[in-house]
Amino acid sequence: MNTKSIFALGILFLMTILLSGCFFTLGNVDKVFSIKIGSATISNVRIEPATIPGGVTQQVTVSFSYQHEDGDLGLKARVVIRVAGVATEHSVELSKTSDTVRLPVTVSTPNTETTIPLEVTIAIGDQISSPQTAMIHVAADDDKDGVGNREDACPKASGVMANKGCPVPPAGQPDCIWFVDNWTPPIQQKRSYKVGREIFAMVNDPDENISSDTLDVVFVWVEVPHTGDLEVFRLPELDLNSGIFVNVGPLLTSFPIGATRLDGNLSVFDGDTMLLFYGDVNNFSQQCLTTAVAGGE
């Protein structure tokens, strides 16, 4: 066998070994090509809401932006969020080299004015970013309605956030409708109106919160038995997904003008009782009635 033949056989033998090695390792590519885990950075750490009421346990949303040169490889990051010294871990898949991540975190707060430190660290492989910090502001909430004292227009009466912490009619009860003083929060119950003023109504009916994207609408009726007048007016939702409806109603006019139903004017004498009625068109078992007096203030 000449030298050229020996050399050709040697090359063939080496190629066979190399190819077989590749086939054996294709199922485990990282043993052939080491994947570089680049450095990770995070920024723009935010907490929503930034101020939360004290004395309750609730969820806040922690958001942050990250950058990682190997993120588009589908790596998973370990996100450590430390609140007041207590750490929780979250696994996040990085499908992009940069993105914004939002994570829910449960926070328990004392019922006092204070701040709670929050720290976020992201780890990918053996790379750990520098910790980023933010502060959660805690507002005392004496009536424990989820609205801190500073923002609560009714700090001594439990209410709802949509009404600035003031109460609303109980949902699903006979008194789920009120005569009220205004249509801008804080809205409070009213028992009398002077003639010449418009009246306002509030309804609490979560069943009528049908759309999550637009304000829903309900209708109410107000009647004066003494004069026989009857008016209908529409109430849009106070806030998206609140199930609370409020709006201005007909103008109170003195009876000598005449009682014409459904003309936008509610004819009354001073001292007349006004009946305010609401019926859920999707649930006839839910009907609410309340009263107020014409005259006085």
Query: Under CATH, to which class is 40-139 assigned?
Result: mainly beta
Contact yes or no for 115/137 (Cβ under 8 A): yes
pLDDT at 167: 94
pLDDT at 17: 45
pLDDT at 284: 66
Query: pTM surpassing 0.85?
Result: no
d(CA 179, CA 187) in angstroms, rounded, equals 10
CB 226: neighbour CB atoms within 10 A?
A: 16
Q: Three-class SS of residue 22?
A: helix
Q: What is the pLDDT of residues 183-230, one digit of tens each?
A: 999 999 999 999 999 999 999 999 899 998 999 999 999 999 999 999
**CATH number listed for the domain at residues 161-294:** 2.60.40
pLDDT at 132: 85
In the chain, where the domains are located: 40-139, 161-294
Q: Do domains 40-139 and 161-294 have the same CATH topology?
A: yes
d(CA 255, CA 250) in angstroms, rounded, equals 14
Contact yes or no for 128/38 (Cβ under 8 A): no
d(CA 206, CA 172) in angstroms, rounded, equals 8
pLDDT at 186: 93
pLDDT at 21: 43
Element (H, E) at 231: strand 229-236
pLDDT at 71: 63
Q: What is the pLDDT of residues 251-284, one digit of tens each?
A: 998 887 778 999 999 999 999 999 999 988 777 6
Strand ranges in 55-128 using DSSP code E only, listed in sequence order: 57-68, 75-83, 86-94, 98-108, 114-124, 127-128
Q: Three-class SS of residue 297?
A: coil
Mean per-residue pLDDT pooled into runs of 10, the chain (297 residues): 53 48 34 46 85 86 83 78 88 85 89 89 80 88 88 90 92 89 93 93 92 93 95 94 93 85 92 93 79 85
